Structure 1
Amino acid sequence: MKKIIATTVLLIVIGGIALSFNLLNTKNFKKNASYNVENIDTLKVYTDSWDVKFKKSNSNKATISAEGKQKDKAPVTFQQNGGDLVISQKAQKNSGFFGGFTFGKQGGTIYINVPDSGMNNIEITNKDGNIQLSEISAENIVVDNNSGDEKINNVSAHTGKFASKDGSLSVENSSFEKLNMTSTSGDNSMKDIDSSNVKVTSKDGTVSIKDITEGKSLSVNTKSGDIGVSYKKPPTSLAVFAQSNSDITLDLDGLNKSHDGVKLKKGEIGAGSNKVSLSSEDGSIKVIN
């Protein structure tokens, strides 16, 4: 017992020393730069642990700034390579004996402002950090998020692809010709979305779609989680398919049901030129005006 107590005390002391060393060896980091968007085709962001925030720029240039903590090396780099502007953040580890100790997240934020004219392509690959996009436009936006929340607000693009393995995914007040959302673990929410083609695939989490504009195609598939859909205006030409092992509610004006089973419901409004397909293995489905 004495050996166990002594070992525990020793580990606490070592941990305290390592923490003090880690704090003393960390200092503030700031970096900023601006670029002409005419020379940029694709803006690429790679992050290990920092948050990323996109907003509209007040100038006709793309401005990048990073603020956080650093040890020996700069944690964030900016590099323009031909038509690509690459922003990269890599987590820094302690060296020597203390290399195996990690005390909290070495946090920081990368701020990216782009002009109203928009950009061709924005690509974000994130390991562990939150992502926020607001008041921006681009031809194509692709976000691959491992761990952290994604918040998309007032964004427009021809194609939007947002993937999250572990974290919530929220899209509001935005428009896309094609919108694809993929989630492994976490809730998916959309509100006031204008899109011709929407596809949502979720493994574990609820899918909430509020005040959506009737489009050509809306497809939602989840293995575990409820699905809720509401329209900004009552649909006028819609074919509805809903399948679940739980409750299914279709409360739509003018819906003529062709199949009204317990686990499967189908019907049409008007000519049914637009399609809605919803399926959940273990979750309720509700669709309303």
Structure 2
Amino acid sequence: MILASTALIVTGGFVFSFKEVGGKSFEKETSFEADSIEEVEINNESWDIEFKNTKSKKITIEVEGKQKDKKKDPVTIKNDGKKIEMNQKDQKGILEGFSFGKKGTIYISIPKNEIDTITLNNSFGDIKMKDVATKNIVISNDSGAEKIEGLSADKGKFTSKDGEFSLKDSSLKALTVASTTGDNYITSVTSPKMKVTSTEGEVTIKNSKEGESLFVETKSGDIAVSYQEAPTSLMLTANSHSSDITVKLNSFKKKKDTEQSKEGIIGDAANKLEVLSKEGTIKIN
């Protein structure tokens, strides 16, 4: 009986500890008049971030998660003149090295074309975005997955150390994507100026529209570029040390054709496509 009682106390102690580590529920909601805000900046450590469009004239931020430290909020929101700054920092617990499910999510609803700049500095949380329209968007990501759909912007810059990047059904006047480790998938995106670079990871660009300049480079990763409609005026350069390059484009006139390099033009070559890979296959169609 004594041994059984001791086991119960120990087990109960562990259950109690786990509950304390998980923390209490934390919820927060606040709104701002969109016409008075020019920039939204988010500095996020590990919570998930979800952006979406709203028909309201207000920017609404909703936070749902866990709070470990009763004296400090895990998410703080400041309004400094024409800028909203949001900071999410992880709070230390007894068993910080263990993970017990999702820590929290930040939901941001933004009216279309009301905000000049969206800046997100993300460490480990996943990022979702749908039907957002802004002038400038800058996302710096350490290791979260990024899934963006229906984005409209003048300039978009996305950098990632690790994690999959997906951009779909979007339109940008200038797009820059740079990743260290992680695959990049760009589908049905219109951008006259696009630059995609990766150290380790494949790059897939589907249903692309012919633009002024498309540059794709990987050090170790396959590259695939496909056009929604056949280009009519293009200068193409493709180089790969893997000796595996395939180009299937209508009216493509080859100027150079080797295992590691293919160059040529379509029409009067007003636009440019340059694809480079040190260790990876290249397919263009």
TM-score, normalised relative to structure 2: 0.92
| Counterpart position of 1:104 | 99
1:213 is the counterpart of 2:209: yes
The residue that corresponds to 2:63 in the other structure is 66
- Of 19, 24, 27 in structure 1, the residue corresponding to residue 24 of structure 2 is 27
Instruction: Give the match for residue 9 of structure 1.
Output: none
Structure 1 residue 232 and structure 2 residue 231: aligned? no
What residue in structure 1 maps to residue 39 of structure 2? 42
Partner secondary structure for residue 221 of structure 1: strand
Q: How does 1:102-251 map to 2 (within 5 A)?
A: 102-104=97-99, 107-246=103-242, 247-251=244-248
Give the share of equivalent positions with the same residue, in percent.
42
Give ranges in structure 2 of 5+ residues lacking alignment.
1-8
Equivalent residue of 1:23, what SS?
helix
How many residue pairs get matched? 272
TM-fit CA distance, 1:111 = 0.2
Specify whether residues 267 and 93 from structure 1 end up closer, same or farther in structure 2 by C-alpha distance, changes over 3 A only.
same
Q: Is the 8 A contact 2:224 2:283 kept in 1?
A: yes
Aligned counterpart, 1:93: 92
For structure 1, list consecutive stretches of 5 or more residues without a partner in the other structure: 1-12
CA gap 1:244/1:42 in 2 versus in 1, 3 angstroms: same
Structure 2 distance, partners of 1:203, 1:16, is 49
- Alpha-carbon deviation of 1:103? 2.0
- What is the CA-CA distance between 1:37 and the residue it aligns to? 1.2
Shift in Å, 1:39? 1.3
Residues 149-172 of structure 1 show CA distances to partners (whole Å, capped at 9, x for unaligned) of 011100000000011111000000
C-alpha distance in structure 2 between counterparts of 1:182 and 1:14, whole Å? 50
Give, as a single letter, the amino acid of the residue that structure 2 aligns with 1:211. Answer: N
Hey, what's the Cα distance between the residues in 2 that align with 1:256 and 1:108?
54
2:75 equivalent in structure 1: 76
Are 2:202 and 2:223, in contact at CA under 8 Å, matched by a contact in 1? yes
CA shift digits 1:146-193 (9 cap, x unpaired)? 011011100000000011111000000000000000111110000001
Shift of 1:83: 1.5
2: CA distance, partners of 1:17 / 1:167: 37
Distance across 2 between alignment mates of 1:44 and 1:175? 22
SS state at 2:19 partner:
helix
Superposed CA RMSD in Å reads 1.7
The farther-off stretch of 65-74 and 249-258 is 65-74
CA 1:17/1:215 → structure 2, altered by over 3 Å: closer, same or farther?
A: farther
2:248 equivalent to 1:267: no
- The AA in structure 1 aligned to 2:210 is E
Residue 168 of structure 1 contacts residue 187 of structure 1 at CA under 8 Å; is this kept in 2?
yes
2:61 corresponds to 1:53: no
1:117 CA drift (Å): 3.1
> How many Å apart are 1:219 and its aligned residue?
0.3
| Cα deviations by residue, 1:177-212 (Å, 9 ceiling, x for unpaired) | 000001111100000010010000100000000001
| Distance verdict in 2 for CA 1:16–1:186, change over 3 Å | farther
